[in-house]
Structure 1
Amino acid sequence: MGCAPVTCNFTTSITLPSGAAVTNYIWNFGDGTIVSGNNSQASHTYPGAGAFAATVSIQTNTGCTASYRFDSVYFGTPPVTVSAYTATPVVCGSDKARFVAIAQNASSYDWDFGNGNIVSTTDTFVERKFSSLGFHRVLVTPKYYDCPGRTDTLQVEIVGVIAKFLFNNTCNDRKTFSFRNNSVGNITSLVWEIGEPVTQQYNSTDIRHRFPNAGATAVRLKLEDNVTGCVDSANTRIYTADPWLVASGRSICINSDARFRIDRNYTNPNATYTWNVLGETTGAISQPELTVRANLHGLFQTNFVIINNGNAYCPDTVSLNFPINVKGPLLDFTAPDNTCLNQALILTNHSRPFYPTDTIRSWQWSMGDNLGQSNAFTPDPYLYQQPRAYQVSLAAVDINGCRDTLTKRVSIRPMPFLWIIPRNDTICQGQSSSFIAYTSDDLLWSSTEQLSFCSTCDTVTVTPLHDVFFRVSATNQYQCVSYDSASVHAIEPFTARTRMSDTAICLNERLRLDADPKDKVIEWSPADQMSQSNVYNPMVSPRQTTTYIARLSDSTGCFSSQTQVRVIVKSNPTVDPGPDRYLSYGSPFTLQPRYSNNVRQYLWTPGDSLNCATCPNPSGFAYSSKKYTVSVTSDSGCTAKSDVNIFVECKGANILMPKAFSPNNDRLNDRFYPIAKGLRNIQRFSIFNRMGEPVFEARNFQPNNPSNGWDGLLRGTAQAGGAYVYFIEAVCETGQIINVKGSVLLVR
């Protein structure tokens, strides 16, 4: 606002999407003037009076548009005063004076009544009550949109009386008030009126009056000036009460609400209250009731409220007539302000019951990540998954059901990023290897070998003689440390060796070779008659004396070495025992194998049926079929063996059967059974009577055993004496089956 012409400056602030740019600004200043261009700021002069609303529109390179409307601006010209006068030149002090001002084009009038405060009106008249008698000068200035015109001076006279008084009570007697008259003017009549309706009057200039114990009593001072005929009065209301402070309970839990109120209170709507309860002060406030959260433990003996009815009143202090006991757990735990992500958060609980007898019966920890929970007194160390700030809280409930919660903020700091390339490298001794550590934080390298390198650089190059292990740490601004490692395997020269000397074996024997060291790639040659040529300990069976060479190399081909083993092959002895022989039972025989010239020792098994177990040509008798094995040893210690069978001929003569038997239990010929030689077993032994009926049968038993014979009984009944027929099916030691049948006489 102001007087035209006025120059205004306009500025725009624009937010654009990525890639967009303003190509044109269109300014409309609201007075018919429109300007376009690429300037984000504009200046315009408004030549005349009026209200103007400027707008700006923009266009972007993407074809988009936007507009903004500025707050309206107002400009005017100085109004011309037509008239200004006092409508009431003389007025009683109890009344309001009236003033009038009229000006062309005026949108408002500023009035100065001599007290330093400007009153602005849009109407052409104003009323004002003055607080003192005599003449008062009033200034009025018309304005058009805050553009001022000529200021005119008006005058008014205030006559008569102006009623005023002061009052107060004392803290010793709050019901008794003193009133002091400080009115001005020609006072010809004065009356104090107490009550409504009036219950008592005083005509003294100053008075003292005792009011009821409770209530709101009206007090009026009435004045009169007989000369001017003016009258005036001053009024107030006196508030008295016997207030009583009431609380919701004598014992409460920590962090619960306690409610306080004032009964029989003052009815003064302007009273304020300052509360001092449960160790805290609240106010001054306008409410005669208070709900306060119990934040402190203990027995609070002093709880009171101060009632302030105004400057004329002595403040009234109202105390609670009983103490309030605040119970509950006294929570305290320690936690680090900052912890690295890879470190478990360790909490230490120092909580206890405020009163030792109020045992705490439950604990509840929350780690602030919707995952970590614990009901232990002290929770286990906790490892967070993400770095950020967490609100760790502890809640406890005691035997009274009182619950308290304590929350602390813990910042979990991120770990430094650390990545080493490569992590492992293999080189030949004498070569160099380089490692790069990727991080934005402070580095520190260390190694297992005494090597020369930059321990704080991101790139390390070494030429180790042996294997070396690197440990790398990265430390960030929070002193959090990440570790990584790398290693170099330095291939060292080696010597191939074998723990074997030249070794002799017999033809067709096998020998296990061996070569060291075992951590190399190996290849044996020649590979003929070898189990596997690429193992350290292959089996070989050479046909002739052979030198085996083991060639060893490391896996990278840096170094190689070889060793050898000579295997001497000795000739084996030979033995030909001849064909198997079939002899009659008890026939003599002589074994006559053919031997090679290098045979020096002989051993026959079984040797118990031969006349000599260590002779080249032993002899014996054919009482049973047997296999004889001869083992021979050459002059070089090599051995050979061969077998020959002596079979006893299988025929009926091999079975001897009695012609009669007498089962009379005299232990002589009591049973009839097969007596045989050269048989393996009896498959079937059957006996029949003269009617062809079977009376006995036995199967699969050894011959020459009376217990397998017939005792002359059939199902426990002795059979009649006479001739019986038998049938035998037997297996010889050669495996041949023979059948024998005949008759026998049972003698009774």
Structure 2
Amino acid sequence: PTLTCAQPLAVLQGSATGQGTLTLSWSTTGGNILSGQGSLSPTVNAAGWYFLSVLDGANDCSATDSVRVEVDTLRPFVAVAPPETLTCARTTLTLDAGASDSTALTSIEWSTPDGQLLAGTQTLHPRIGAPGTYTLLLRNTLNGCADSASVTVSQDLQAPEVDAGPDTTLDCTQGEVWLHGQVSGVPSPTLSWSSPDGQLGSPADRAEVLVLAGGRYVLSATNPANGCSAADTAIVVDGRILGLELKLFPPLCAGETGSVEILGVFGGVEPYTYSFDGGQSFQNEPFRSGLSGGSYLLVVEDASGCRWEESAFLPPGEHPDLFLPEFLTVSFGEGVLLNPHIGVDEERLAEIRWTPEAGLSCTDCLRPFAAPERTTRYRLLVRTLNGCRDSAEVRVEVLPPSGVFVPNAFSPDGDGVNDRLSVFAHPGQVARVLRFEVFSRWGERLFTARNLPPNDPTTGWDGTFRGRPMGQGVYVWFAEVEWMDGRRALFRGDVVLLR
């Protein structure tokens, strides 16, 4: 058997036979018998030769045998190199250990009561993440012999002490300010100013910095020895007026008025006063009504006397701006397109109305066709989606028709063709012939008729006077007609009577 670190004792297993009572006795050279010296199974704890002697009481014969006990207590050797220091820049470390034997026949185990093992706990190079004491146990898996080594990892988190300085205020008399930062606690720190919403006016790597706008200003300092940083913030309140939030209410229609409302003032010191006439007069209310379309200079003054000026433009009210010519002329029976000019997009019109409707192709369209029977004054009224109204008028003058015809010759011979002198006209133009008269060359009235229908060859002069046929010759006629629109016209001409 072999004694090891894991098994420091061995029980020897002897055996003996004889005829009588056997007397047993163990002895050793170089070894050590702990117990059972007179038994077959003594316990030993040292390497050496062990001898078993047996005496048979029946015949006093004896015999001796021996066994060799070996020892294997060779221990591995382990050492851990001094570690680096954990810092803000170095948050993890790899420990470096060495061993006399790190084969597969050895086991490696790291432990710590107060640190943090991250990885590699069964290797000679574990990764750790916290200060503390770390112990490596290296064990020979064959004989159980082990060695251990411990190392202490320290940590340096010394950060600078930073003071960005007191908070301060900008106003219209002081448009910039210096911040005086202070840093202590570590030698030669690196400095940096930053602002998420302000504006720096000087280099940012110095303790003092010039700021040009309100905001949060952060002074950061870093210890170059360990990378640890600290920061402090100074607030710069911008007391200047930085702008306005406006709401404009333009006039809806021409001739109406609108208003301007200042919904908010950015910056400045309350209370504010407001001017809507370029600073000539101020009021406490941020609202002004009764404003015509145009440009306005708004001025806001805060409690410290700082002012802000801003222009506002109210578009003029909507104006349909209708235009129609004073009059249009058409011949009787004809028509004309009424084409008004309008100063707004036609899509903006909510209502179109022409009056009167007589002779119009439509009364709710913008450009109707007008064909009146008599001279008519048309009026156009429009209303926009904003309710703005305008109107215009045009007189359509209907010229009298020229289509009245009386033959220049007729033959009252009773053949049924051209036997009477009658008045003819274009259809639909003449309502009636009010008066038709025929005279001789010496001015004697030979024929008079009233209220004759036009275009009727059965009416008119039959070439007689007082029942006696008139002789062949030239005669003069007069005709007064009434047009379809009620107007009257007088026509005159000569006619030849043929026999």
Q: TM-score, normalised by structure 1?
A: 0.27
Q: TM-score, normalised by structure 2?
A: 0.37
Structure scoring higher RCO (CA < 8 A, sep ≥ 6) equals 2
